[in-house]
Amino acid sequence: MSAILYPVAANAELALSGALGRAAREREAAAVAKEAVVFTTDAVGPAFATREAALDAYRGRVDDERSGPAPAPEDRFCRLAEQIVTEPGRRARIGPVKPTYEDGRRWPSPPPEPPRTAWRLMVSYWRIATAERPIEAPQARRARRAKQALDRETLRAIAHAPLRPVEPQQPLDIGLFEVRPPEAPHIVMPDE
């Protein structure tokens, strides 16, 4: 089985149209870019209302189960993803639902209509580390506690970023009924 050769580029649009080269591993990608690289996945292009319309637009770039052309195994760095579309001024209602425990049912009825979605092309590529990044999301807890006004793009970046700690995790402390013997301070022993 051959490995996927991901494009090496400064952004997702260049990864599709004018990549510096292709590489399967970080070491190879850094050699192509002649500097550090970071593996990332970004959305590119317009949003499509249906999956079929997106498959027609990106024919040959993504797997098409409708017996369309499929990319070669080393060219499978693109995929389609469904994203929720929010209208300006309204927020998407996504999140936990409180159980109701009524009439022998635990969960409430689903909403009458599901949220509107659109299909986007997601491109996985080796991004050059010194290239301009769309938005670097702040740590969510610090941003919330600062009570600063955050714009829409920053909130979206926080929501799509992986969880990051406020500070590095500290070493674990010993408990109330544990002691370190003087002859071996690297060992924690129970005390009674």
- The DSSP bridge pattern shows strands 117-128 and 37-48 to be antiparallel
Its pTM surpasses 0.85: no
User: Which positions of the chain have pLDDT values less than 70?
Assistant: 1-2, 68, 87-95, 97, 109-111, 131-138, 161-173
The whole-angstrom separation of Cα 69 and Cα 71 is 7
- How is residue 137 written in tokens? 């999301």
- The DSSP bridge pattern shows strands 6-9 and 189-190 to be unpaired
pLDDT at 181: 87
pLDDT at 150: 80
Asked if residue 5 lies in contact with residue 30, where contact means CB atoms within 8 angstroms, the answer is no
Domain ranges in the chain are 135-164
